[in-house]
C-alpha cells in the first residue's frame, strides 16, 4: 500500500498540568478527504496547529510524507498547505495580485501554476477584482488557492465552512472532493458540524476531550447492516387504530409525531403493513428512519456539552 500522506503517532499536548490532547494516532492516505469532527473545545485546532508546526508537540510525532514535523520541519512542511486561522489577504490588492505575492514566497511557482489553482477553486471570473469586494466564500477559495500554490500533498483546513452559506458549503464540498482526486492530495478538514462532514468526507475521526473516540468510513457510519433492525415510520389516518391493529403481534409500535414508529427488520415492515391494511387503516407513507451521523455522534459522545 502507498504510504500515507500524514501520520499522527501518539500525539500528546500538555499545557501546564492539563493534557489537552491524549495519544492521538491516525493517518490519511492519498486522495482521501478526512474529517476531524468534534464539539467545541475538543482539541481540533490544537491538533491541527501541531500538525503544521505552529505549536510544539509535548510527545509523539507527526510525519508528513515520512518527514517528522518536529525533527525535520523544512522537509515536512514543504508538503503542507493549510488554512488554520483566517487566511491573511491584502484587501486592496486583487485576488490575482495576492496570489503573485504569495507565489514569490515559495520556490518554483510558475505563472501556469497560478492559473491552475485559480481554475481549481473556480475563481477565474473574479480573480482580477480587489479582495475587499469578495464575499466570505470567495475569500475562502482564494485562501485555498494560495494554500495550493506550491503543490502540497496535504491540504489542511480548520473549520473551512465557518460562515459559508449552504450554497458555499456545497461548492466547497464539491471542489475539495475534486481536488483530492485531481491532484491526488489528502485533505484534512475539521468541523463541529456533523451533517456537512457526512457529505464532504470519505472518513471521519471523532475527537472528544482531546481523545480520538472513533475513526470510520462515512459509509460504515451511515448505513445500517443487512438484517439489522431499524426504525420505520408509518404515516396513517388513525394512530389509535394503527396501534390497536399491531397490538396483537410481536411488533413494538409507538405513536410518534402524529404517525407510528416501530423497530423492525425488513420482513417485519411487510408484516406490519399487512396487519394495518387488514384493519382498514389507511397508509400514506412508509419511511425507514436511517440514523444520521449526528445521531450516531451524539450516541457516541453522550452529548455535545463542552467539557
Ligand X SMILES: Nc1ncnc2c1ncn2[C@@H]1O[C@H](COP(=O)(O)OP(=O)(O)OP(=O)(O)O)[C@@H](O)[C@H]1O
Residues that bind Mg ion (CB under 5 A): 44-45
The values of phi and psi at residue 301, to 5°, are: -95, -5
Tell me, by CB under 6 A, how many residues bind ligand X.
11
- Any contact of residue 208 with ligand X (CB under 6 A)? no
Residue 219 grid cell? 459509509
Contacts of 167 (CB under 8 A, 6+ apart): none
Rounded CA separation 238/199 (Å): 37
Number of H helices, E strands in the chain: 11, 14
| Partner whose footprint covers residue 40, from ligand X, Mg ion, none (CB < 5 to 8 Å by kind) | ligand X
Whether 187 and 29 have beta carbons less than 8 Å apart is answered as no
Q: How far is the CB of 151 from Mg ion (least distance, A)?
A: 27
Contacts of 294 (CB under 8 A, 6+ apart): 194, 195
Minimum distance, C-beta of residue 53 to Mg ion, in the bound complex (Å): 17
- One of 38, 81, 152, 168 touching ligand X (CB under 6 A): 38
Count of other CB atoms within 10 angstroms of residue 157: 25
**Cβ-based nearer residue to ligand X, 46 or 186:** 46
Per-residue binding letters, 9-28, with ligand X (x by CB under 6 A): ------x----x--------
CB of 138 to ligand X, least distance (A): 23
Output 1 or 306, the one with its CB closest to ligand X. Answer: 306
Cβ at position 5, least distance to ligand X in Å: 22
Where on the chain is the footprint of ligand X (CB under 6 A)? Answer: 15, 20, 38, 40-46, 192
Amino acid at each position: 500500500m502507498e504510504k500515507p500522506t500524514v501520520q499522527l503517532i501518539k500525539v500528546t499536548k500538555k499545557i501546564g498540568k492539563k493534557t489537552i490532547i491524549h495519544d492521538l494516532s491516525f493517518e490519511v492516505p492519498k486522495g482521501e478527504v478526512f474529517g476531524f469532527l468534534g464539539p467545541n473545545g475538543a482539541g481540533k485546532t490544537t491538533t491541527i496547529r501541531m500538525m503544521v508546526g505552529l505549536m510544539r508537540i509535548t510527545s509523539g510525532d507527526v510525519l508528513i510524507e515520512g518527514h517528522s514535523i518536529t525533527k525535520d520541519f523544512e522537509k515536512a512542511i514543504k508538503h503542507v498547505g493549510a488554512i488554520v486561522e483566517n487566511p491573511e489577504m491584502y484587501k486592496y490588492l486583487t485576488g490575482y495580485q495576492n496570489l503573485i505575492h504569495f507565489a514569490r514566497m515559495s520556490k518554483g511557482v510558475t505563472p501556469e501554476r497560478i492559473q491552475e489553482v485559480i481554475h481549481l477553486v473556480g475563481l477565474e471570473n473574479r480573480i482580477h477584482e480587489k479582495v475587499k469586494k469578495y464575499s466570505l466564500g470567495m475569500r475562502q477559495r482564494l485562501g485555498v488557492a494560495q494554500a495550493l500554490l506550491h503543490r502540497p500533498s496535504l491540504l489542511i483546513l480548520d473549520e473551512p465552512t465557518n460562515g459559508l452559506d449552504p450554497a458555499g458549503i456545497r461548492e466547497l464540498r464539491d471542489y475539495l472532493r475534486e481536488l483530492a482526486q485531481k491532484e491526488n492530495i489528502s485533505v484534512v478538514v475539521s468541523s463541529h458540524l456533523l451533517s456537512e462532514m457526512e457529505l464532504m468526507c470519505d472518513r471521519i475521526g471523532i475527537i472528544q476531550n482531546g481523545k480520538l473516540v472513533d475513526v470510520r468510513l462515512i459509509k460504515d457510519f451511515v448505513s445500517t447492516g443487512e438484517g439489522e433492525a431499524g426504525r420505520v415510520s408509518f404515516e396513517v389516518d388513525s394512530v389509535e387504530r394503527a396501534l390497536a391493529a399491531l397490538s396483537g403481534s410481536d411488533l413494538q409500535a409507538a405513536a410518534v409525531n402524529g404517525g407510528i414508529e416501530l423497530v423492525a427488520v425488513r420482513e417485519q415492515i411487510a408484516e406490519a403493513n399487512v396487519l394495518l391494511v387488514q384493519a382498514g387503516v389507511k397508509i400514506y407513507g412508509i419511511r425507514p428512519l436511517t440514523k444520521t451521523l449526528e445521531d450516531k455522534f451524539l450516541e457516541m459522545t453522550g452529548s455535545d456539552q463542552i467539557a
